[in-house]
């Protein structure tokens, strides 16, 4: 029986999950050659929040990081996490921008692209996956795992079959919240292996303490690869530790062979890095948190809520807000909770408790209902949809959202030129997503200054009209921080 192999996530998801994505390239490079010698199937080094963090907080060009890591670890395929049509941001981008990003990334040395969509809408993945394949790189279609009445093993398997038809080289099961149980992991992998002929990868987090046991069940079912990290950037809200997984597989016929001496050497290095990043770490992220099984939300999201509610004078409303999250999620079509939908659902749940259920609907939640993020897995609550359509003055769309977007790459290139910035594809696609941060990076503005919020525009952004028969009693602006992201929200209190 062929041994299972591991991908290692310490240089991306490990520090994103446990240290706010603050590991610098300089801190990574000493470990890269050792990781390269381990024989892992892949090293996840890029994508997700690392692009944002490089630009916003670390003053680094993320493409330079990729080239440096590729040079330091040339033997092992490098992996990135790509949000489909959202690239590594929150809004959808035109096809030509997505294509340029993938091409630039492939040219800089990226080998494997994990491509996912927050709604599991395959239409939002077609452009990215096709471009990855056209570049001769490895396309890994990701199934965002979650639980709800509409998320069944059959539905996930159907999605995997579609990925194979699209030409994907492998299928990833992306359990972003760490809620997949051993029995489900076994059954899902077994069903997929019976329907597709390409490798299956399981990615989970140990937030609820299930990660390692679910990996073991998936290995028994024939999964090809599981993803692990290295302590102290492992376990808790990160992936299970590599050495721990090897111990669990002791005596198993599919146990892989990874040098424990090198793992210890890596641990000593990363312990020092973890100490250096202590201001971004928290014991709350390191421990098992069973709340995620009750409320079906990521552990990091729960901890951020505690802080945010305290800032809003709503610390005593924590339980109410968390209980409201499944209500919002169901109303918006049982959407999975993964960037950016976790932030959207969390913000709306907070507003429901603060102002009354659905009295104020934040713009991103309206956009979910209107189909601007894609097709939700389940039906949108018809009353909420009618309210949103009335406020927006338009009907929900049913087409692929990007079909409504005009090509944008050359427009972004011209903006770069007008600001005196380089106009190559790398800078242009980064500028499309992070204009202020890219301009600051090129012009040498220190990251702390670059991270300051932009001045407010002279004119406020348009606010949806209040429902008929109501009037605006008061209006205020709020700043919400969900999952470490800053959101400026205009809130109107309505009176009949």
The DSSP code sequence of 168-190 is: -SEEEEE-TTS---HHHHHHHHH
Instruction: Specify the pLDDT at position 312.
Output: 82
For every residue of 71-98, DSSP letters joined together read HHS-SSPEEEEE-GGGTTSSS---HHHH
Helix (H, G, I), strand (E, B) or coil at 361: coil
Spatial separation of the C-alpha atoms in residues 416 and 423, rounded to whole Å: 6
Instruction: Specify the pLDDT at position 465.
Output: 38
Query: Within 10 Å of residue 157's Cβ, how many Cβ atoms?
Result: 21
β-bridge pairing 225-228 and 112-115 = unpaired
β-bridge pairing 485-495 and 471-482 = antiparallel
Cis geometry, peptide bond prior to residue 381 (ω within 30 degrees of 0): no
Domains of the chain by start residue, with CATH? 5-283 (3.20.20.70), 291-402+460-495 (1.10.472.90), 408-440 (no CATH)
Measured in degrees and rounded to the nearest 5, phi and psi for residue 142 equal -105, 130
**394 is written with which tokens?**
């338009």
Closest CA to 11 of 269, 300, 201: 269
237-273 pLDDT per residue, tens: 999 999 999 999 999 999 999 999 999 999 999 999 9
Spatial separation of the C-alpha atoms in residues 490 and 487, rounded to whole Å: 10
Tell me the mean pLDDT per 10 residues along the chain, length 496: 96 94 97 98 96 96 98 98 95 96 98 97 98 98 95 98 98 95 98 98 96 98 98 96 98 98 98 96 87 73 68 86 92 91 90 95 96 96 96 94 97 98 98 97 82 41 37 43 43 42
**37 is written with which tokens?**
């010698």
Q: CA 280 → CA 55, 59, 283, distances in Å?
A: 17, 17, 11
Instruction: Specify the pLDDT at position 314.
Output: 87
Spatial separation of the C-alpha atoms in residues 385 and 372, rounded to whole Å: 13
Instruction: Specify the pLDDT at position 19.
Output: 93
């Amino acid at each position: 029986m062929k041994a299972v192999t591991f991908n290692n996530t310490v240089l991306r998801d490990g520090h994103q999950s446990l240290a706010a994505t603050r590991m610098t390239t300089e801190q990574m490079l000493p470990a890269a050659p050792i990781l390269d010698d381990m024989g892992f199937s892949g090293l996840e080094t890029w994508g997700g929040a690392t692009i944002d963090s490089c630009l916003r907080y670390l003053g680094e060009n993320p493409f330079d990081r990729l080239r440096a890591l590729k040079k330091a670890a040339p033997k092992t395929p490098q992996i990135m996490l790509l949000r489909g049509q959202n690239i590594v941001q929150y809004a959808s981008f035109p096809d030509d921008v997505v294509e340029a990003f993938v091409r630039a990334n492939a040219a800089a040395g990226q080998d494997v692209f994990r491509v996912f969509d927050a709604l599991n809408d395959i239409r939002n993945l077609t452009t990215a996956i096709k471009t990855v394949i056209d570049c001769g790189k490895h396309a890994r279609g990701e199934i965002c795992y979650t639980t709800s009445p509409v998320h069944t093993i059959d539905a996930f398997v159907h999605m995997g079959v579609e990925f194979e038809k699209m030409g994907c080289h492998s299928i990833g099961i992306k359990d972003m919240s760490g809620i997949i149980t051993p029995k489900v992991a076994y059954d899902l992998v077994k069903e997929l292996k019976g329907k597709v002929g390409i490798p299956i990868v399981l990615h989970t987090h140990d937030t609820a303490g299930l990660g390692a046991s679910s990996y073991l069940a998936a290995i028994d079912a024939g999964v090809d690869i599981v993803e692990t990290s290295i302590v102290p950037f492992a376990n808790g809200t990160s992936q299970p530790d590599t050495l721990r997984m090897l111990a669990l597989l002791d005596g198993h016929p599919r146990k892989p062979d990874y040098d424990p001496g090198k793992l210890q050497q890596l641990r000593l290095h990363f312990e020092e890095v973890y100490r250096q990043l202590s201001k971004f770490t928290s014991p709350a992220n390191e421990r098992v948190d069973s709340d995620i099984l009750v409320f079906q939300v990521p552990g990091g999201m729960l901890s951020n809520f505690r802080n945010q509610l305290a800032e809003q004078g709503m610390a005593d409303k924590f339980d109410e807000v968390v209980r409201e999250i499944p209500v919002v999620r169901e109303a918006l079509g049982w959407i999975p909770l993964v960037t950016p939908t976790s932030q959207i659902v969390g913000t709306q749940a907070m507003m429901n408790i603060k102002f009354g259920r659905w009295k104020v609907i934040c713009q991103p939640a309206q956009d979910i209902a209107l189909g601007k993020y894609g097709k939700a897995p389940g039906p949108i609550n018809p009353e909420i949809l009618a309210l949103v359509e009335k406020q927006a003055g338009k009907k929900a769309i049913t087409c692929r959202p990007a079909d409504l977007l005009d090509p944008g790459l050359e427009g972004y290139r011209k903006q770069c030129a007008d600001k005196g910035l380089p106009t190559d594809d790398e800078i242009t696609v980064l500028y499309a997503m992070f204009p202020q941060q890219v301009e600051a990076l090129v012009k040498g503005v220190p990251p702390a200054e670059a991270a300051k919020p932009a001045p407010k525009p002279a004119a406020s952004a348009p606010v949806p009209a209040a429902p008929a028969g109501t009037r605006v009693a008061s209006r205020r602006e709020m700043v919400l921080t969900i999952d470490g992201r800053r959101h400026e929200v205009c809130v109107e209190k309505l009176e009949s």
